[in-house]
Amino acid sequence: ARKHQPVLTEDFEESALRLRSDGEFADASGQDEIGLLYRPIISQISRWDRLKGFAPLMRGFIQLKRTAADRKNIDERHRRRLQIVRMVLAGPDPRSIQDDPEGQEVLKEICDLYTGVDAEIQKDIGIFALPMKSRKENALMVNAIQRCSTVIAQNSVQEGFGLTATEAMWKGVPVMTSRACGLRQQVRDGVDGRMVSDADDVDQIAHVLDTMLANPHARADWGRNGRRRATEEFLVFSQIKYWLRLLDQEVAHAHA
């Protein structure tokens, strides 16, 4: 009988960087594990842009963590969930965005916000800079974060077509989005995930994240619905079908 021969892949050419408590980025593999495989994870992956709403999302998460211990009439299982949940914010390695001064400025604001909170909160937030040299390796890192997430956020102040929201829906992960124009066309509130009416409203963000974490059965439903919607509405085959239907209607109209 042929023996099983495991296939081992080589290490990635470049590692992701993670923000340390001193405000500097360092190799993520040399720091405390964030717990992707066994903790509830709320993530947002995007470019470092003020319109992506990173800062209010992070503040909402901080508020959620700070108030969890003092809440009364809360299910103990959910209280424990709030204690162990962590947030992952990821974007491009700043070394790859030299021609984007605003992006570096926004990233600095996020770093300053992170270094300004106490160590107990810092350990529950991972801010990652993903290498951009290899598109394949970058995509694999993004995919790993998304697949391990409990909730994927896209807290955009403005947004066209929210690709990361659709990626989450396709992977069956419930989404929390703002009502920015494109996102409200993609995500149905209470069906595929949840929405906040104001991407800058920290209280509302904290509340929506709390309700999503508190309802695992609803999260499962939102994930299934989101994948079905992504399959039916947002894959290239669906778009081709729509165009063919439109052309067929035009041809029929021309010969009427």
126-155 per-position pLDDT tens digit: 999 999 999 999 999 999 999 999 999 999
Q: Is residue 11, in this structure, part of any structural domain at all?
A: no
Q: Is residue 79, in this structure, part of any structural domain at all?
A: yes
Does 160 have pLDDT greater than 90? Answer: no
What confidence category does residue 1 fall into, taking pLDDT thresholds of 50, 70 and 90? low
CA distance 207 to 161: 25
Output the average pLDDT for the chain: 92
What is the DSSP code (8-state) at residue 122?
H
pLDDT of residue 159: 86
pLDDT of residue 72: 84
Does 45 have pLDDT greater than 70? Answer: yes
pLDDT of residue 195: 96
Three-state SS at 42: strand
Does 231 have pLDDT greater than 80? Answer: yes
Q: Alpha helix locations (H) across 150-193?
A: 163-170, 181-186
The beta strands (E) that lie in the chain are given as: 17-19, 25-27, 41-45, 86-92, 125-130, 151-154, 175-178, 193-196
65-111 pLDDT tens trace: 999 878 888 889 999 999 999 999 999 998 787 777 788 899 999 99
Three-state SS at 189: strand
CATH code, 29: 3.40.50.2000
What confidence category does residue 166 fall into, taking pLDDT thresholds of 50, 70 and 90? very high
What confidence category does residue 161 fall into, taking pLDDT thresholds of 50, 70 and 90? confident
Q: Is residue 68, in this structure, part of any structural domain at all?
A: yes
Domain count, the chain: 1
Q: Is residue 194, in this structure, part of any structural domain at all?
A: yes
Q: Is residue 149, in this structure, part of any structural domain at all?
A: yes
Does 256 have pLDDT greater than 60? Answer: yes
pLDDT of residue 73: 85
Supply 130's token pair: 């993903």
Q: Is residue 2, in this structure, part of any structural domain at all?
A: no
The beta strands (E) that lie in 41-102 are given as: 41-45, 86-92
What is the DSSP code (8-state) at residue 185?
H
Q: Which of 189, 186, 210, 208 is nearest to 199 (CA)?
A: 208
As a whole number, mean pLDDT of residues 208-236 equals 95
Identify the helix (H) or strand (E) that includes residue 201. none
Q: Is residue 58, in this structure, part of any structural domain at all?
A: yes
pLDDT of residue 2: 65
pLDDT of residue 162: 85
Q: Is residue 7, in this structure, part of any structural domain at all?
A: no
Range of the domain at 37: 17-251
